[in-house]
Structure 1
Amino acid sequence: MKAAVLHAYKEPLRIEEVDISPPRRGEVLIRVKATGLCHSDVNVFEGKTPVPPPVVAGHEIAGVVEQVGEGVTRVRPGDRVISAFIHPCGTCRNCVSGHENLCETFSSVRLKGIMPDGSSRLSMGGKEIRAFLGGGFAEEAVVGENALTKIPEGMELERLAVLGCAGLTGYGAVLAGKVEPGETVAVIGVGGVGLSTIQVLRSAGAGRIIAVGTKKWKLERAMELGATDTVNSKEEDPVKALKEMTGGGPDVVVEAGGNEETIRMALDAVRIGGRVVLVGLPPSSAMIPLKVASIVRGGITVVGNYGARPRVDMPRLMELIKQGKYDPSALVTGRFKLEEINEAVKLLEEGEAIRSLIVP
């Protein structure tokens, strides 16, 4: 099969022939129809998330089941599915206690680009290569069955690919923030995750929803999707603006930018007694100092959130789509063939894309 392979950090991806082995116990082979391109993938390409190359990335996967491994019961060949970026084992302490987004087994292997058994299903010339969170930038992918959700009839498969990360992360951010109806929420970062968060906030009954970003056209998209106000952090001091707009700061701030500046912004802007939800992923080596005294004196709750639960929350997200409360298509700003993936990467790095679909 063809796949976009990263051989060295900060080098262009190469479209090459890669061998893929059959799924093993609990695994599923998918014929990929579309995969969303996310900043987390770009972090891998740049070495900020140091998955060892050669590696095939891509974790917002939509496709059709071709083959199932031993013991698989949740899907069967022919099913249309999307894959979450979280692949729960289903048996560790966190999975069985209802926190499968924090699966301990998955956590131990996700940055190694291997399956839970310590091996990869991809190879070139007889040599094993890695797959990051599914390896969806290819014609086929093998993932664990617990990452998959079947698509209801009547829903277009390709447009749902972004649910696998952007949608699931946005949904998890609202759950983690324990947002109550009428509360004021600021969302810092208006990429795929931020715009998903805004849509879920609207459906959850949040009051004022303030989008913070640097691109005018993305802020306009945020308003279309449910934001009530915007702050352009390139044109004004965002912390000052948020505090003035809300009379002391938002009740909740969701940080979806994933860098030192936006994390500081979130902590400085939230009101006394408020909550900050960190969902943006900075480079794995980042060490960001915090004003601990201010957090303690202000009674600020800081929560890190790694998405929602694939088997529980993805069907709920589907229901929001059916009800017209969440539109994944609004996140898609481009569609590229697998051979054009480097062009899509460039646009995302330049901030000129929200989510691009890579279509084999």
Structure 2
Amino acid sequence: MIILYLILMKGAILYKYNEPLIIEDNIQIDEPKVGETKIRIEATGLCHSDVNVFEGKTPVPPPVIAGHEIAGVIEEVGNNVTDFKPGDRVISAFIHPCGKCKNCITGKENLCEVFAKNRLNGTLLDGTTRLHFKDGTPIRAFLGGGFAEYAMVPYTALTKVPEDLDLRKVAVLGCAGLTAYGAVNSAKIEPGETVAVIGVGGVGLSVIQMLKIAGAGRIIAVGTRKWKLEKALELGASDVVNSKETDVVRAVKNITGGGPDVVIEVAGTTETVKMSLDMVRIGGKVVLVGLPPTTAEIPIRIASIVRGGIKIIGDYGGRPRVDMPRLIELVKLGKYDPTALVTGKFRLEEINEAVKLLEQGEAIRSLIIPN
């Protein structure tokens, strides 16, 4: 006789766009399948990408659990998982590479084709979900579904965390850190180059720290909140420009003597993308990191791009299995401080309060603590 054990957990479910999340404690999580791991969550960072899901700008079909900056302890592993075992302390990247597609095997696992196909469906790599209600109704999980007590993710997204590092300290590496690392790596910064960073949230402040490590010269932070710009100065920016108080393009061109060599855009709005293209110097590079709503249309003056020899680079984060261990090493060496991004810690039941603060621009990264 086969005995099936029903595992129930608590999670914050989005039932309808633009409505508060509902905390449910009757969510069933199945056993991990081949290549998957079940993680008992210690903390999950709250990111603007999650808010985009809640608002329907990233239209993952409800009911869905979001949350993709996950840190926790492995509780169970599926077949063919040999690199990890129950009890391992891990962080999960927001990118879940399959490890088998052309991009994965050619060193571009951040652009995994299988992951890209399933990302907006809120499913795992096989196109299904491990979460459902007791009546069998499926629940989707966006990039891991970390706003819950447990999450199911492929082992290819995981990195072990040394015992001497607090899991809550490194949770935001899963998106803010990995995205920033990938952006600066794509920009191929040369020592002394001037760089403008548009957006000073979790990713932007991480980019500033990475630019300092890379040897950038002048680092200009552009944002709308005075207190966030002050934080940017603390973390390595040489200059700040408040876009609510001045003509940003003119100000940045004056500071740099004609425009920065590189602009890294992380705010993800039509205005900031246009701003980045208008301010970069002739022959410069623009790295686009921020994600506008899927329906956004951004006009680009092609003639100016061509005549100016401007390089536009789209970047979707670092490589989980290659770059995340390097990020952890930067944290251990004190070169990158993820705790500088955390402005609050909230119980799972308080998640709507944390979402409100982020929407109002009064938070950088909040940690959601399930237990």
1:27 aligns with 2:36: yes
DSSP-derived class of the 2:144 partner: coil
Matched with 1:289 is: 299
**Correspondence 1:3 to 2:11:** yes
- AA paired with 1:314? M
Query: What amino acid does structure 2 have at the position aligned with 1:267?
Result: L
Among 203, 206, 216, the residue aligned to 2:216: 206
Q: Which residue of 2 aligns with 1:338?
A: 348
Q: Separation in 1 of the partners of 2:59 and 2:270?
A: 19
- 1 CA distance for matches of 2:202 and 2:158? 20
SS of 1:212 mapped into structure 2 = strand
User: Paired residue for 2:358, among 338, 348, 353?
Assistant: 348
Instruction: Give distance in 2, aligned partners of 1:224 and 1:22.
Output: 45
45-54 or 68-77, which deviates more: 68-77
Structure 1 unaligned blocks of 5 or more: none
Distance in 1 (alpha carbons) for counterparts of 2:236 and 2:333: 15
Kindly provide the CA deviation profile for residues 69-126 of structure 1, in whole angstroms up to 9, marking residues without a partner as x: 0000221110100000000000100000000000000000000001121210000131
Question: CA separation in 2, counterparts of 1:268 and 1:301?
Answer: 13
Letter in 1 for 2:72: G
Q: C-alpha distance in 2, partners of 1:295/1:338?
A: 46
**Mapping for residues 1-360 of structure 1, pairs under 5 Å:** 1-17=9-25, 18-124=27-133, 125-360=135-370
SS in 1 for 2:251: helix
C-alpha separation between the residues in 2 aligned to 1:119 and 1:256? 31
Residue 153 of structure 1, CA deviation: 2.1
Moved more, 194-203 or 315-324: 315-324
SS in 2 for 1:187: strand
Give me the identity figure in percent. Answer: 71
Task: Give the distance between the partners of 2:343 and 2:326, measured in 1 at CA.
Answer: 24
What one-letter code is carried by the residue in structure 2 that aligns with 1:26?
Answer: G
In 2, the alpha carbon distance for the partners of 1:168 and 1:254 equals 15
Q: CA deviation at 1:245?
A: 0.5
Cα distance in 2 between the residues matched to 1:212 and 1:75: 41
Query: Which sections of structure 2, spanning at least 5 residues, go unmatched?
Result: 1-8
- Secondary structure at the counterpart of residue 283 of structure 1: coil
TM-score, scaled to structure 1? 0.99
**Deviation string for 1:28-48 (max 9, x for gaps)?**
000000000000000000000
Q: How far apart, CA to CA, are the structure 2 residues paired with 1:32 and 1:84?
A: 14
1:37 & 1:73 partners in 2: Cα distance? 30
Tell me which amino acid in the other structure corresponds to 1:196.
S
Q: Deviations over 1:203-222 (max 9, x none)?
A: 11111111000000000000
Alpha-carbon separation, structure 2, partners of 1:208 and 1:260: 25
Measure, in 1, the Cα distance between the counterparts of 2:181 and 2:122. 25
In 2: Cα distance, 1:225 partner to 1:75 partner:
34
CA RMSD in angstroms, aligned pairs only: 0.6
Aligned residues: 360
Q: Helix, strand or coil for the counterpart of 1:290?
A: coil
Match of 2:6 in 1: none
TM-score by length of 2: 0.96
